[in-house]
Structure 1
Amino acid sequence: MRLLPPKSFYYEGGKKAVLLLHSFTSNPNDMKKLGSYLQQNQYSCYAPTLSGHGLPAEELLNYGPADWWQDVLGGYQLLKDKGFEHIAVVGLSLGGVLALKTAQELQINGVVTLSVPMDKEAAVLKERIVYYAKRYKQLEGKEDQQIASEMAELDHLPFESLTHFEHLINQTRDQLARITSPVHVLYGEMDAPSYKTSAEKIFQSVTSDQKTIKGFAHSKHLMTLGKDMNEINQDILTFLNELKW
């Protein structure tokens, strides 16, 4: 069974625009409930599919941070082309790293990060790819023997894109002081402890006059779809409403 890759989405909601960026090995579905909630509260939202995501791991490995950054630039330009003069960015995990890079490189009104890694080695990222690959093959309905064979082949593929991802994280972390836009940093208290450490690093390092940090007691890594989802949606809306548009 061939799985259909998830599509980017655009929700028209009002004159203020938000760019929504999903996590690594995931897809824009991470952001649909948040996007719908923001739309109901007069925000227009666009969530691009980062290149290779939603595809088999073998294909995802053909893409890397340079491609994902182009996707972000394309999403930003799409909103500009629709007439939005002011744009905020919300990113989850990898999307949060890209959101911080957006705040470093482009004119944005504010940035929200959720579950952002500021220290992640390529070897750990490879573990994530391996898990994703096996899960994807199971969803395709493949037999165990075929899955085992394909997983063995996967190990021989080049993983340079993950090294580039590690470099993206390091480079973004080292340039946090360039960020002067308002920043709201969120993390899940049930996530790995490194994400709280990363959240504190972001909060301490950005030079924004308006910056806040908040942990959510019942949230794991995928905060936008977890137990605190409704509270998180409201929290992000409050932050966006307080920005100068």
Structure 2
Amino acid sequence: MMKIVPPKPFFYKGGEQAVLLLHSFTSNTIDMKKLGKYLQQHNYTCYAPLYRGHGLTAEKLLTFRPTDWWQDVLDGYQLLKDEGYGKIAVVGLSLGGVFALKAAQELELSGVVTMSVPIHREASFLQKRVFHYAKSFKQLEGKNEDQIHHEITQLQQMSIHSLVEFQQLIQKTVDQLARITSPISILYGALDETLYKDSAEVIYQSVGSQQKKVKAYPNAKHLMTLGTDKDDVNKDILAFLNDLHW
């Protein structure tokens, strides 16, 4: 059976201005590596935490809760502070985008970028995401279809309480969008579900930020940092960061 090397957080040191990069649900820091390297080349320091359970089996993933993942975000922010970076922006994708909005409500930030953020997700949909992740992970491990089917059947018996909490976290964050006053850039893929276009518009209308923008990318799907329009996404994020009053 193939041994999968777990992903890790990364810390790309650049200039005095720091960016906290937050990956998506059931994914890992690979979401943010190309963007992180690009920003480092343009004199930004970047740190991407890995949420607990991510990059591991779906069974292990479900033993952690959104409070654990949020703590990983807080720890990442504090790491940058402890390293002497006084000015921090946050860039987040999907779940990472939800956390970026939450960070903008609770922490001192120079700016925030969100990508592919849902303003509502049912726990049942999140559970399907976990099953899809589980199947892909087990295939990478080299398990046969019978074994995969058996293990996913067992996985279906696990509690989805953490996913209900995830649904509640999204809703609570959306309910407090007016608290956000940091400059914000809201990005979404035109080829993603229409939910994300609608969500981007709600976020844009609801935040209290004076400096705000929303943009669609015609060839982008959900994982915008890895897709066809990734170079345009990277350039726009850099331009946004360069325009901030650090």
- TM class, shorter-chain normalised? over 0.9
- Where in structure 2 are the equivalents of 1:1-245 lying within 5 Å? 1-245=2-246
Any idea what SS the aligned residue of 1:83 has?
coil
Identity over aligned residues, as a percent? 61
User: How far 1:2 sits from its partner (Å)?
Assistant: 2.6
Residue by residue, what CA displacement relative to the aligned partner does 1:77-106 show, whole Å, maximum 9, x if unpaired?
000011000100000000000000000000
SS at match of 1:224: coil
The AA in structure 1 aligned to 2:25 is F
User: Partner amino acid for 1:52?
Assistant: G
Aligned residues: 245
> When the two structures are superposed, what TM-score results if normalisation uses the length of structure 2?
0.99
Please state whether the residue corresponding to 1:225 is helix, strand or coil. Answer: coil
- 1:195 and 1:64 map into 2 onto residues whose CA distance is 24
Q: Distance in 1 between matches of 2:229 and 2:148?
A: 35
Structure 1 residue ranges, 4+ long, deviating more than 4 angstroms after superposition: none
Q: How far apart in 1 are the matches of 2:38 and 2:190?
A: 23
Q: Which runs of 5+ in 1 are unaligned?
A: none
Q: Alignment RMSD, CA only?
A: 0.5
The SS at the match of 2:187 is strand
What amino acid does structure 2 have at the position aligned with 1:209? Answer: Q
- Aligned counterparts of 1:90 and 1:214: Cα–Cα separation in 2: 15
CA distance in 2, matches of 1:26, 1:184: 22
Amino acid at match of 1:190: L
C-alpha distance in 2, partners of 1:227/1:20? 20
Give the deviation of 1:143 after TM superposition.
1.1
Distance 2:234 2:14 in 1: 16
